């Protein structure tokens, strides 16, 4: 078992990473079950694959389970499903001292976290992430949100969970495409400030993606350690350090918007293509060695992740994609910060990027592919 602490004073919490943790969840979660009950929110896919394991463990610990099952997919992060979830929680008479479990990927974690942050002005929630992307990124750090017509994650709050329980064995039930998408967020930590971890990713990606439990546990632990340190230092992105976690996301969210936030392009796939674009744009500006941009592109291609507009199934031209970026929640005083790179492990925040130049780059990058 690995234990990572997110140090946030009175709101500190533990991340537990343990193979088979879902089957022993009753032991970990018993103290959170007020009146001997826990509400578990999940989606239809996870309900089939993982909910029986969690229910069995909780019931063995004499904890009653109240499941709420929502549709799968990015479209569930919506006003409609937020209202549906809140009504269901109110019908179950959830109180401010209760804990709601988010069992699933990033969609469920984001939705449940946001619902918990506003229900009766805040109840508690526990993250039990079941996808690689959620385990290494979205379940940690307290960013909760739903999507709007104008863009992704534009309505939300910073609201930390009471704990995070990660069982790498849940990845065994995922399609390879889902695991690949999550792997993009693993690679991100190496690209931000840990070139040795990027080296490890290049050497161990095949083992991780093929199901090696040691490779998966190492990747998850190293990733959440990195994120926990950044969140503890800059919880609300006030100093700029937490913004580094958005590497690839400004480009990626625009690609997701063009594909309708659908299964055409999964979030992690958008981030992968976005990171490659950020590195190639950095090279175009003379900030990053072309060899590092090419190295990242080659690695993403080797593991089967999108690396440019065409492989991301994006049809829009540069100006249209930049139009999507104008709705980015990081816009400030008409300026959109970009995560660029001086090289692998040397990501930095730039506030002087010219969007017309970004649009021209996107069209030129497509033409050069």
Which residues does the annotation mark as catalytic? 121, 143, 185, 227, 237, 242, 246, 249, 253, 267
- 304 exposure class (CB count in 10 Å sphere: 0-12, 13-18, 19+): middle
Q: Give CA–CA dist 253/369, Å, rounded.
A: 21
Q: Give CA–CA dist 195/136, Å, rounded.
A: 18
For 226-252, b where at least 16 C-beta lie within 10 A, e where not — what string? bbbebbbebbebeeebbbbbbbbbbbb
State the alpha helices, DSSP H only, in the chain. 25-29, 44-49, 51-60, 79-91, 106-118, 132-133, 176-193, 195-210, 213-233, 249-258, 267-284, 290-303, 318-325, 355-368
Q: Give CA–CA dist 177/266, Å, rounded.
A: 9
* 79, two tokens: 């006003």
Residues linked to residue 42 through DSSP beta bridges, in sequence order: 69
What's the 3-state SS for 26-61?
A: HHHHHHHCHHHEEEEEEEHHHHHHCHHHHHHHHHHC
Stated as kind and residue range, the H or E segment containing 341 is strand 338-341
**Residue 72 contacts residue 15 (beta carbons within 8 Å):** no
- Residue 215, classed as helix, strand or coil, is helix
Q: Give CA–CA dist 77/256, Å, rounded.
A: 14
């Amino acid at each position: 078992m690995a234990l990572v602490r997110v140090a946030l004073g009175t709101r500190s919490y533990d991340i537990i990473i343990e193979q088979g943790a879902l089957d022993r969840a009753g032991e970990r979660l018993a103290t959170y079950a007020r009146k001997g009950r826990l509400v578990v929110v999940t989606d239809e896919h996870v309900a089939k694959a993982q909910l029986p394991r969690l229910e069995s463990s909780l019931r063995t610990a004499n904890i009653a389970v109240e499941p709420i099952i929502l549709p799968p997919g990015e479209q569930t992060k919506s006003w409609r499903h937020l209202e549906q979830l809140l009504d269901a929680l109110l019908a179950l008479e959830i109180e401010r001292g209760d804990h709601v479990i988010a069992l699933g990927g990033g969609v469920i974690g984001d939705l449940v976290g946001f619902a918990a942050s506003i229900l009766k002005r805040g109840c508690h929630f526990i993250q039990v992430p079941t996808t690689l992307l959620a385990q290494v990124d979205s379940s940690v750090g307290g960013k909760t949100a739903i999507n709007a017509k104008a863009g992704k994650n534009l309505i939300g709050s910073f609201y930390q969970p009471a704990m995070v329980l990660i069982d790498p064995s849940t990845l065994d039930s995922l399609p390879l495409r889902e695991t690949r998408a999550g792997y993009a967020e693993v690679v991100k930590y190496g690209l931000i400030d840990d070139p040795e971890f990027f080296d490890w990713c290049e050497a161990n990606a095949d083992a991780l993606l093929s199901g090696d439990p040691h490779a998966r546990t190492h990747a998850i632990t190293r990733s959440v350690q990195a994120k926990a340190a950044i969140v503890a230092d800059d919880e609300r992105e006030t100093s700029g350090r937490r913004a580094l976690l958005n590497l690839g996301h400004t480009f990626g969210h625009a690609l997701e918007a063009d594909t309708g936030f659908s299964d055409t392009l999964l979030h992690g796939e958008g981030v992968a293509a976005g990171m490659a674009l950020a590195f190639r744009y950095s090279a175009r500006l003379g900030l990053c060695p072309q060899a590092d941009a090419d190295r990242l592109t080659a690695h993403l291609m080797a593991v089967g992740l999108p690396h440019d507009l065409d492989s991301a199934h994006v049809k829009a031209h540069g100006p249209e994609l930049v139009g999507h970026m104008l709705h980015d929640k990081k816009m400030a005083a008409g300026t959109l910060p970009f995560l660029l790179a001086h090289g692998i492990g040397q990501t930095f925040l730039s506030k002087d990027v010219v969007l017309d130049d970004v649009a021209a780059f996107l069209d030129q990058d497509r033409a050069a592919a």
